[in-house]
Amino acid sequence: MPAPDLETIVSLAKRRGFVFPSAEIYGGFANAYDYGPLGVELKRNIREAWWRSMVMERDDVVGLDAALITNPQVWVGSGHVANFTDPLVDCKRCQRRFRADHLEEGMYGEVPRDAQGRPLCPFDGGELTEPRQFNMMFRTQVGPVADEANMAYLPPETAQGIFVNFVNVQQTMRRKLPFGIAQTRVSFRNEITPGRFIFRTLEFEQMEMEYFCMPPKDREKPAEYLALHRQWVEERLRWYIDVIGIAPERLRLRDHEKEELSHYSAGTTDIEYLFPWGWGELEGIAARTDFDLRSHAELSGQPLTYFDEESGEHVIPWVIEPAAGLTRTLAVVLLDAYTEEPDEKGEKRIVLKFRPRIAPVKVAVLPLSKNDALRPTARRVYDLLRPLWMTQYDETQSIGRRYRRQDEIGTPCCVTIDFQTVGENGQPGDDCVTIRDRDTQEQVRVPISGLVAALEERIPAARRAGGSACAREIRKRPAVVAGRFACPNGRGQLLRTPARRQASPYSARARTTGSFAARSRGPKCWVRAS
RNA sequence: GCGGAAGUAGCUCAGUGGUAGAGCGCCUCCUUGCCAAGGAGGAGGUCGCGAGUUCGAACCUCGUCUUCCGCUCCA
C-alpha cells in the first residue's frame, strides 16, 4: 500500500503512546518531541539492532560513549565553530532570505548592487538587511560564571567524540587497521526551520561509526578508499532492508554533488527514504578522508597517528563514516510499518507490521473473556512470559477489540486463554493456549509447556541479550540465489548485485579487509543469529 | 525567520455574540465464548495562552505560543 500521510502517523503515535509533542501542557515547544512508553521501546530496539549489527556481530568494530559537553576546542578542530555559522540577510521588500556568502560567491549569478557596492536582492533588487551571524551549535556555560572562558557547546554531531579518542581506543583495544569505533547518542542543532514531525528536531539521536583504514597511496585517486566507501554504503542499505524491514522500493541511494559536499568529504552517499513529502535522508555515508584526525592533531599538537609495522611509518588513517539518524529511522519504521486492510465486515483494520525484533510489545496475553475461571491461568502465562519479552495483559472488553488494539501497536503475537484451556462443566482443561499471528490472524494451539519455544519461533529470544532474529526469520533467509542476494522478507531482489570479492585494496592488511568483505557480502551474515 | 492557514474532550471535528456539543476512544458494572457486538453508568474541555471591545466572547480586535502548507535554511 502507499505510504500513509504524516498526520495519520502523528495521530497514531500520540493516540497509542509512541510520540507526544513535548511539554504539551505548556503549549508545546517547537521541534521537540517526547517519546512515550511504546516509543522508548521502539527506539531502544532500533538502537540495539544497530549496535548488534555494527558492534556485537562484527570483530572489527568497538563501542564508545564520549561526553556530550567537552572542551570547546573540539568544535574548533572539527571546523564547526568556523563553518557551522551562516551569515543571513533578508530582502526588506520580498522577505526572501539568503546567505550573504552565497550572494558574494555568485550562487545567484550577477547580483544587483547599490551605490556603495553592497548586494541587493537578486529577485527584485530590494534592500537587504545587515548580515546576522547564525551558528547552529547550542552554547552553554560550565560553572557559575557566565563568561567566554567557561563557554561550552552542545554537540551538533556524534563523530568528534570518536576522533578525539582515536588513539585511546586503538591502543587500549590493540587494534590494527582497518577497524571502526561506534557510538550512539544525542546531538543538538539550533535549526531555524521547523521539522516534519520527528524528521528534524532540536535534539536527535544518531548512530555513527567511524571506520579507520590505511591511507591511499595516491591522495588524488583513492580508488581503494572509494571502493571501501561503496562497500559500506551497500552494507548499510542492506541493514535497513534486512534487519529493520524497510520496503526496498521506498529506499534509494543518492550520491552528493560536488558542490553539496561537506568541507571534509571526498564523497558522500545518502540513503534516502520516500517520505510522504518526498525523498529524505536517513543516513549519510561520508568519505571523510583524514580531515578530522589531521585537523585535531594540528590544533591539539598531539599526534593522532597509527604505526604501520609493514612500512615502518606513522600514518594518519582515512575514515569512512556511516552516520544514521536513530529518531529518523524510528519515523521511517512507523511510516513503513503502517498498513490498513479491510476486515471481513469491511471495517478498516490498522496494523503496524513491525519486524518482531523491532516491535515495542512482543506478546499480549488475553483471556477470552473477563471470567474468573480464566484469570488464574492467564496470569500464570503472563508471569511466565513477562521476564522474557515485553508483554501486555488485557482482559477488558471483547477479544476482537483487544486484537485490534494489539494490531495497532504492532504486537506480533497474542496468546489467548480460553475455556478449553482451563476446562469447564467438570471436564479437565487441556492446558493449551492459542497463539494468534498479527499479520495472518491465524491461530495455532500449543501446550503452555511448549509456549516459550513456540513463541521463540516467531520472536527473537529475549534471553539471548536482545536477540537478533527469530527462528522462523532465519529459516526464511535465502542465502544467495544465482549469485545474487535475494531479499529475505520476500520483497524481491536487492537494489545492487554484490560485486565479486575483489583483491584487497589494502594489501598489507589483506586478511582483515577480507574478513570485512566476507562478512558483509558472504552468506554468513544471513545465518549469523542462529 | 518570512507568507498563508489552523488551534474546541485522548483522536477526528461541528458549533458566527446569549446554558460546552457529536462520533470514535477511555473507565466501571452487566452481558459477551475468537477478530473493533449490545445495555447502563462515568471520567475528561476555564474552547492554546494573555489582553482588549461588549451587559455578555469559543465566536470580534490585538499580541503571543504551537501546528500544518509554501519559501528560506539544512556539515
pLDDT at A31: 79
User: Which residue's CA lies closest to nucleotide B25 at its C1' atom?
Assistant: A15
User: Which residue's CA lies closest to nucleotide B27 at its C1' atom?
Assistant: A396
A27 CA → B50 C1’, Å? 13
A26 CA → B49 C1’, Å? 9
Please list the pLDDT of chain A residue by residue as tens digits (530 residues): 566 778 788 888 888 889 888 877 777 777 788 888 999 999 999 999 999 999 999 999 999 999 999 888 898 888 888 776 666 666 665 555 666 666 666 656 666 777 777 777 666 666 666 666 667 788 888 877 767 778 888 998 899 999 999 999 999 999 998 999 999 999 988 766 555 777 778 888 999 999 999 999 888 888 999 999 999 999 999 999 999 999 998 999 988 877 666 666 778 899 999 888 788 889 999 999 999 999 999 999 999 999 998 889 999 999 999 999 999 999 999 999 999 888 777 778 889 999 999 999 999 999 999 888 999 999 999 999 999 999 999 998 899 999 999 999 999 999 999 999 998 888 888 999 999 999 999 999 999 999 999 999 999 876 554 556 777 766 665 444 333 344 333 333 333 333 323 322 222 222 222 222 222 332 222 222 21
CA distances, A510 to each of A54, A57, A305, A506 (Å): 21, 20, 20, 6
A367 CA → B33 C1’, Å? 10
A272 is in an annotated binding site: no
User: Cα separation of A455 and A448, whole Å?
Assistant: 11
Please give the backbone phi and psi of residue A277, each rounded to the nearest 5 degrees, phi first: -100, 5
Q: Do the strands A391-393 and A363-367 form a parallel or antiparallel pair, or are they unpaired?
A: parallel
pLDDT at A448: 95
| pTM for the predicted model, two decimal places | 0.83
A419 is in an annotated binding site: no
Q: Do the strands A413-417 and A432-437 form a parallel or antiparallel pair, or are they unpaired?
A: antiparallel
In one letter, which amino acid is A4?
P
pLDDT at A480: 41
- List the beta bridge partners of residue A252: A272
A154 CA → B9 C1’, Å? 39
Query: CB-based contacts of A119: which residues, under 8 Å, 6+ apart?
Result: A100, A103, A104, A111, A112, A113, A128
User: Cα separation of A366 and A377, whole Å?
Assistant: 11
Query: CB-based contacts of A117: which residues, under 8 Å, 6+ apart?
Result: none
Measured over all CA atoms, what is the biggest interatomic distance in chain A, rounded to whole angstroms?
Answer: 102
In one letter, which amino acid is A524?
K
CA distances, A458 to each of A34, A256, A365, A472, A479 (Å): 30, 40, 15, 6, 20
A413 CA → B45 C1’, Å? 37
Q: What is the DSSP letter of A345?
A: T
User: Cα separation of A399 and A371, whole Å?
Assistant: 12
CA distances, A233 to each of A24, A215, A253, A270 (Å): 39, 19, 8, 8
Query: CB-based contacts of A67: which residues, under 8 Å, 6+ apart?
Result: A161
Q: Tell me how far apart the terminal alpha carbons of chain A are, to the nearest angstrom.
A: 32
User: Cα separation of A419 and A516, whole Å?
Assistant: 55
DSSP H/E element including A74: helix A73-77
SS3 A247: coil
Nearest nt (C1') to A440 (CA)? Answer: B35
A117 is in an annotated binding site: no
SS3 A192: coil
- List the beta bridge partners of residue A224: none
User: Which residue's CA lies closest to nucleotide B75 at its C1' atom?
Assistant: A262
User: Cα separation of A238 and A248, whole Å?
Assistant: 9
A8 CA → B70 C1’, Å? 21
A477 is in an annotated binding site: no
Of the candidates A33, A39, A49, A17, the residue with the CA atom closest to the CA atom of residue A184: A49
- List the beta bridge partners of residue A128: A91
Nearest nt (C1') to A368 (CA)? Answer: B33
Query: CB-based contacts of A65: which residues, under 8 Å, 6+ apart?
Result: A183, A185
List bases, strand B, within 7 Å of protein CB: 1-3, 7, 10-12, 25-28, 31-37, 48-49, 65-75
Nearest nt (C1') to A397 (CA)? Answer: B32
**Residue entry with cell 553539496:** A260
